[in-house]
Amino acid sequence: MENKIKVVELFAGVGGFRIGLEGWGNKSASSGFKEQIEPQYEIVWSNQWEPSTKTQYASLVYEHRFGKENHCNQDISTVEVEDIPDHDLLVGGFPCQDYSVATSLKNSKGLIGKKGVLWWSIHKLISEK
């Protein structure tokens, strides 16, 4: 496919969205990763940064799977919007800890929590792009 949909992947983790969109090695899960597919999507930039850890394991796994090119291991709130390529689709494995029902309402922080505030990076990117 010549005109692929250009995708920016935020909170990329180890690349789940990317595998879902591009397939794994140009093969899709629907064929048990046996048949070649023509991906309609192309990840043009990705970001994975875990604020509470020194070693960025998820980002390292992502880089091992897909390479370092166009992958950013930096706090998304410090990335300049103009440094993120133009794209057609924005996806993100949004950090859910501050919204999860797995914690009590007393401990749930929502939009003001350490990871809940990451929503505003999505909002900024959508607003400015």
Is residue 38 assigned to a domain?
yes
Is residue 82 assigned to a domain?
yes
Q: Does residue 49 contact residue 11 with C-beta atoms inside 8 Å?
A: no
Q: What are the catalytic residues?
A: 96
Is residue 11 assigned to a domain?
yes
Per-residue pLDDT averaged across 36-44, rounded?
A: 90
Domain count, the chain: 1
Look at 57 and 25; give whichever has higher pLDDT. 57
Is residue 100 assigned to a domain?
no
Look at 55 and 42; give whichever has higher pLDDT. 42
Is residue 113 assigned to a domain?
no
DSSP letter at 112?
G
CA 74 to CA 89: how far, in whole Å? 21
Does an H or E element contain 62, and which?
helix 57-66
Domain of 74, CATH number, reads 3.40.50.150
Is residue 30 assigned to a domain?
yes
Per-residue pLDDT at 100 = 52
Per-residue pLDDT averaged across 4-30, rounded?
A: 89
Q: What is the pLDDT of residues 47-60, one digit of tens each?
A: 998 776 677 888 99
Whether 99 has a pLDDT exceeding 60, the answer reads no
Is residue 84 assigned to a domain?
yes
Is residue 128 assigned to a domain?
no
Whether 109 has a pLDDT exceeding 60, the answer reads no
Per-residue pLDDT at 33 = 81
Whether 105 has a pLDDT exceeding 60, the answer reads no
Could you tell me the residue range of the domain that residue 70 belongs to? Answer: 5-95
What is the pTM for the complete model shown? Answer: 0.79
